[in-house]
Amino acid sequence: MTALTELTKHLRPGQVYRRKDLARWSTSVDRHLKQLLTEGRLEKVAGGLYMAPRKTRFGSAPAKPEKLVKSFLGDDRFLMVSPSAFNGLGVGTTQLHNEPVVYNRKRHGRYKLDGRTYDFRMRSTVPAQLSQEVLLVDLLHNLNRLPEDTADVLPRALKRAEAMDKKRLARAVRDFGSARAERLLASVLHTVPA
């Protein structure tokens, strides 16, 4: 069995690989990567990041964003949020956004992965999953970045916060919130901001 054959037997359609992961199965990873790219068995999605294409009846399917981000970070501790999700809170936001925000503990900045831009933001803690409370705290933290008029959105967001579970909201503020979110929600949570 050749070294290239050994490497290709580990490739799974739709999976994303880092160069260093592929190096485990290759004696000459750069030469093998070049060969696999030429043959179409791998696609380069970012620097040092490759995907084994998944064929559909419409052609090659893009990599799933979660797999891309997980491989790019080399870590599964992240939370991907589309600012379009704010629209579901019912606080007057209506814009559609095409750039997901990825809260994580390793990278900061905008990176293009598989032709799509992701906004990576480092945080010391990252919630395991997105809840309505975390989403509201995130909205308040990013109030200045929203295209909507903050004078309209803020009172609705605070009214929405009043209807939420206070313990879960307080936990979201403590674990994920910024000083701004804590200050804005202090009256709702009946706390004194630090």
Q: What are the sequence ranges of the domains in the chain?
A: 3-63, 66-189
pLDDT reading at 194 higher than 90 = no
User: How far, rounded to the nearest angstrom, does the alpha carbon of residue 25 sit from its chain's CA centroid?
Assistant: 29
Q: Which residue in 148, 193, 152, 150 sits closest to 170, CA to CA?
A: 193
Neighbours of 152 (CB within 10 A): 12
Judge whether residue 191 has pLDDT over 80. no
Residues sharing a CB contact under 8 Å with residue 38, sequence separation 6 or more, in sequence order:
none
Rounded to 5 degrees, what angle do the CA atoms 182, 188, 192 make? 50
Closest CA to 143 of 169, 178, 167: 178
Ranges of beta strands (E only) in the chain are 16-18, 43-46, 49-51, 54-56, 59-61, 78-81, 101-104, 109-113, 116-122
Span 78-127, pLDDT tens digits: 999 988 899 999 888 888 788 899 999 999 999 999 889 999 999 988 98
pTM: 0.81
CATH topology of domain 3-63: Arc Repressor Mutant, subunit A (1.10.10)
Tokens standing for 53? Answer: 């294409």
Hey, what's the torsion of the CAs at 57, 59, 65, 69, to 10 degrees? Answer: 130
C-alpha–C-alpha distance, residues 7 and 25, integer Å = 5
Tell me what pLDDT residue 112 has.
93
Instruction: Report whether pLDDT(192) > 70.
Output: no
- Cα 155 to Cα 53, 66, 95, 111, 149, distances in angstroms: 47, 34, 18, 34, 11
Question: Half-sphere exposure of 1 toward its Cβ, with a 13 Å CA cutoff?
Answer: 10
> pLDDT grade, residue 57 (50/70/90)?
confident
Identify the pLDDT of residue 151: 87
The predicted-structure confidence for 104-116, as pLDDT tens digits, reads as follows: 999 999 999 988 9
Least Cα distance to 46 among 122, 120, 117, 121 occurs for 117
